[in-house]
Amino acid sequence: MADDFDLTLTLMCHGYQVKYADITIWQVAVASFHPMIRQRTRWSQGNIQSTIKHFWSTIRNKRIPLVTKLDTLYVFSTMLQSSVRYYV
């Protein structure tokens, strides 16, 4: 999940247009509680790292339209909120 987010931001900063696909993906769920917590923690940490890594390069990039920047800011904020909410 975090790898997808990181790749999306990298592609956007290099001038590629990224579209959202509203699809459902089925995956095998983690069987017990503690491994699920570890998995969600890794995902949260990865998303926070991607946000920190790409924040300014996304905002300052002249190739990215303003609407896309605003949408990306919204995604950044939801990533951080969900991570903070998860840890509190």
**For the chain, domain boundaries:** 2-87
Residue 74 to residue 67: CA distance in whole angstroms: 11
Closest listed residue to residue 80, CA positions, set 54, 57, 52 = 52
The mean pLDDT value for 49-78 works out to 87
Q: What is the pLDDT of residue 87?
A: 56
Going from the C-alpha of 44 to that of each of 58, 64, 88, the distances in angstroms are 20, 25, 13
Output the six-digit token pair for 72: 């990306």
Closest listed residue to residue 30, CA positions, set 21, 48, 42 = 42
Output the six-digit token pair for 73: 């800011």
Does this model's pTM top 0.85? My answer is no
**Mean of per-residue pLDDT scores for the chain:** 82
Cα 6 from chain centroid (whole Å): 7
The mean pLDDT value for 41-47 works out to 83
The pLDDT-based confidence of 86 (bands split at 50, 70, 90) is low
The pLDDT-based confidence of 21 (bands split at 50, 70, 90) is confident
